[in-house]
Amino acid sequence: MSLKQWNIIHSIAISIGIAVFHLTGLLWPVLLLALFSLIVLWRTQWYTISNLKPAGGYANLLTLLRYILILLIVAISPVWPLWSIGCLLIITVMLDGVDGYLARKLNHVTKFGALFDLETDALFIAVTGMMLYHRHIAGEWLLPAMYMRYFYVFVIILLQLNRIQEKRTRFGPAIAFIMCSSLILSFFYQTRVTSIFLMIASALILLSFVYSFFGVLSQRPQGSVKSWSSRRAWARRSRKSRRLI
């Protein structure tokens, strides 16, 4: 299984968990599906990272710790007070900076690590927003930014742009930091100011994905994406040529 194939499976799994959450109000389906996706990723990609020392590499192991910590936070979120959840979320954000530093310092930068880190960040934003929504701290206006990563993956696939290498924008990490900070702040303070801050961060996230989409679109080779009508016409011509033969 390639990384891009896993990315599709992961997006489908998390989207199913999100749908179940909105239908039932339960968070554990997202937790289980995210755990299943994690196991699939490491099992299918182990041969590509097992040569790192230690096996998997310090950076990837730290991202793995961050991913598992996020799942544990989701598991305890219904019963733990908001401030304690916020403290745990701060730890995950701090680890995010460390794993990137280790990857560059130890020359362990890989496509696996880049995608794993990206999807861990996306999972953090999605489940943190879900917890705020579940506690009635944030309204439905927050949801588009929370789930935009998975919607983005589906759009890229539908438009047949998934063969183009996805790149992080220069301002992407800064926007992600602003988003994570505003989400965490909402666990400590539920005021109008924090809500406005979160709204601004959500708008920046949406604009970032729009910018990334057009960036991928601009890299598309001319004629690489055929319209539905042109594909149908090509199929008719193929059938006709086979009959003539």
The total number of structural domains in the chain stands at: 1
Domain membership of residue 54 (yes or no) is: yes
Residue type, 122: A
Return the pLDDT at 166. 61
In a domain, 232, yes or no: no
Cα–Cα nearest to 96, from 121, 71, 133: 121
Q: What average pLDDT values come out for the chain (245 residues) when binned by 10 residues? A: 87 92 91 94 88 82 93 90 92 85 78 89 92 90 88 80 63 84 92 92 89 75 49 53 47
Question: How many other CB atoms sit within 10 Å of the CB of residue 79?
Answer: 6
107 lies in some domain: yes
Extract the tokens encoding 120. 């861990």
Is 95 part of a structural domain of the chain? yes
- In whole angstroms, what is the distance from residue 100 CA to residue 102 CA? 5
Backbone dihedral angles phi then psi of residue 13, each to the nearest 5 degrees:
-60, -50
Instruction: Supply the CATH number for residue 215's domain.
Output: 1.20.120
The answer to whether position 231 is within a domain reads no
Sequence-ordered alpha helix ranges (H) in 77-159: 82-105, 111-134, 143-158
Q: What is the extent of the structural domain holding 167?
A: 3-221
Q: Are 121 and 176 in contact (CB under 8 A)?
A: yes
pLDDT at 244: 45
Is position 81 within any domain?
yes
> HSE on the CB side for 224, CA within 13 Å?
13
DSSP per residue over 211-245, as a string? HHHHHHHHTSPTT-S--HHHHHHHHHHHHHHHHH-
Is residue 187 situated within a structural domain?
yes
